[in-house]
Chain A
Amino acid sequence: MRWLTAALEWQSRVVVLRHLRVYLHNWHTAFLPPVGEPVTMLLAFGLGLGGYVGALDWRGHPVDYPTYVAPGLLAYAAFMTAVFQALFAAFIRMRYQRTWEGQLTTQVELRHVVWGEVLWAALLATIYVLIVGLVLTVFAVLGLVDLDLAWLPAALPIAFLAGCGFAAFGLCFTALVPTIDHMNLPVFLVVIPMGLLSGTYFPITHPALAAVSAVNPLYHLAQTYRGLLLGGPVAGHLAALALLSVLMVVVLVPLDLRLLRRRVLGD
């Protein structure tokens, strides 16, 4: 169980702090995407496409499309942030910047590096959900979306939990792809389809998608956020999200360690 307790050891915190320092150092470029993306998406999908879609049904009540999409944007932000940190950012640190190699010559061990990446990706996902949440608050104040903002703070710990699972998932591909060009495979074949077909932008009604959604943590994250911000039952989706996220961490972090031990240490 050393792999699990490593998450709480000081070395993992130091790795997270290092990544946080880099982010804060580059805040002017790191800050723009989480602010710009939801604005663009809400304008394009919400207000642009929404004009053609009209109202959607949510728990027997009609909601306009921008309002329906807004919680999905939060879930999408958490998912994409965590996964892309664990994919591209981690790969660059591992392969090109050699950050991991430098860390591994100290009292930091590979399990701390892995947990540092997972926890950092989850923390960044949480930060981005906070930023997107602030943008949605502005949109709500402007009357462009109708959300129960009192529940917005609850989105943060949920984002962190889900982010851990998404990051552990992303690190598997980081351990396996031979070059950064090969990242196209998981991104275009798994991540983007998953991001779009998980109830984030439209209701899942197709039987095949609905069947897959039962074991799709992003679907449960989107539905949890929708329940919180639009009103409706949350417990079932939150429980499913928690279970799936914990499962992903428990299964994938040891797998990540095994794959990365071979990749990074050659062992």
Chain B
Amino acid sequence: MHAVIPMLEARALVKHLGGRRVVDGVDLVCLPGQIHGLLGPNGAGKTTTLRMLYGFLTPDAGEIRFQGADVRGDLVSAKRFIGVCTQEDTFDGDFTVEQNLLIAAEYFRPRPDGLRERVGQLLDRFELRPHARQKPETLSGGYRRRLMLARAIVHRPRLLFLDEPTTGLDPQARVAVWQLVDGLRADGLAIVLTTHYMDEAERLSDVLTVLARGRVVAHGAPKAVLGDSVGEHVVVVATGAEVTAALLPWLAPRGLRKPATVLGDWHVPLSAEALADFARAFPHLRYEVRSPTLDDLFLKLALEP
């Protein structure tokens, strides 16, 4: 049985910017037909990591391999097979939707075969055909994002980077983009995705890497990441002077810090055993128990020193 060669393999990436070590030893692997989510709070190093991976920035240390080959050997050739959809719109406002796709293909050699046909297919797939002769600025946010996605794959890349692909979109447009991204995964693209949206990361990602302060703090399937990093359950309890006074002494011996406060409620991550202890210790306390989400992970990371 042949092992699948990762489309992307990054080891021990390090980057300093402005005298600060913003990425500190990040590893990342992405296989064909896989979506690898890259998460983290603001300033965690996600965008810097992504920019190193698609060649915008040069790592200070570490290596990046594309289909087994070190990209330092020939980054320009490697970029022929990489597509990037940046967070901000970078299309040419002077040209129509269709012209944007044609011109985007000009930045690659060898040129994509059957370009006109390819552009036509993308216009249909991304439902941009009715807008083909319009300028991008006349499109809604959702359709601009579709254009950015279509531009990123016009040259048939094998590896795709999506930097916060649905930021600023309404729920309907977000779902539409998710479906398009899911379709690209089904096509066999390896996709690295950064996002702030927890539902997006959980629903789309096959694998998650969570960064904090430039380092990997969690890695694995979304549910495993949550279980290992946050816990099996989250107890939500309204705080008050009495509750605080009672809870803090209970949390401390169990190695639990003061939990995150969200709109006056404490969100306390607990294992199943700790939850049973909690129920016995506070039989008269009103609280809610729910499953952990990536929001809880972020809150936990935010509280860590």
Contacts and interface: CB of A to CB of B under 8 A. Distances in A.
Interface string B69-83: 000000010011000
Contacts of B95: 21-22, 25
Contact of B90 (A11, A99, A109): A99
A97 B80 CA distance: 24
Interface stretch (B101-109, B216-224, B292-300): B101-109
B239 interface: no
Contacts of A189: none
A213 interface: no
User: DSSP majority for the A interface?
Assistant: helix
Nearest to B75: A109
Contacts of B56: 104-105, 265
In this complex, the member of A26, A102, A103 whose beta carbon has the largest number of chain B beta carbons within 10 angstroms is A102
Contacts of B107: 11, 14, 103, 106-108
Interface size class of B (residues with CB under 8 A): 20 to 34
Contacts of A10: 109
Contacts, number: 64
Interface size class of A (residues with CB under 8 A): 20 to 34
B89 A98 contact: yes
Interface in A6-20: 10-11, 14, 17-18
A99 B92 contact: yes
Contacts of B84: 105-106
Given A98-B88, A106-B79, A26 B17 contact: no
A108 B107 CA distance: 7
A102 B86 contact: yes
Given A103-B107, A108-B107, A266 B57 contact: yes
In this complex, the member of A17, A26, A97, A103 whose beta carbon has the largest number of chain B beta carbons within 10 angstroms is A97
Contacts of B88: 98, 101
Contacts of B51: 265
A181 interface: no
In this complex, the member of B89, B90, B108 whose beta carbon has the largest number of chain A beta carbons within 10 angstroms is B90
A21 B100 CA distance: 12
Given A98-B90, A102-B151, A266-B57, 9 more contacts: A22-B94, A26-B94, A102-B86, A105-B56, A105-B152, A107-B79, A107-B109, A266-B17, A267-B58
12 contacts: A17-B106, A18-B103, A25-B94, A101-B86, A102-B92, A105-B56, A105-B90, A106-B84, A106-B104, A106-B107, A266-B18, A266-B57
Interface of A: 10-11, 14, 17-18, 21-22, 25-26, 97-99, 101-109, 265-267
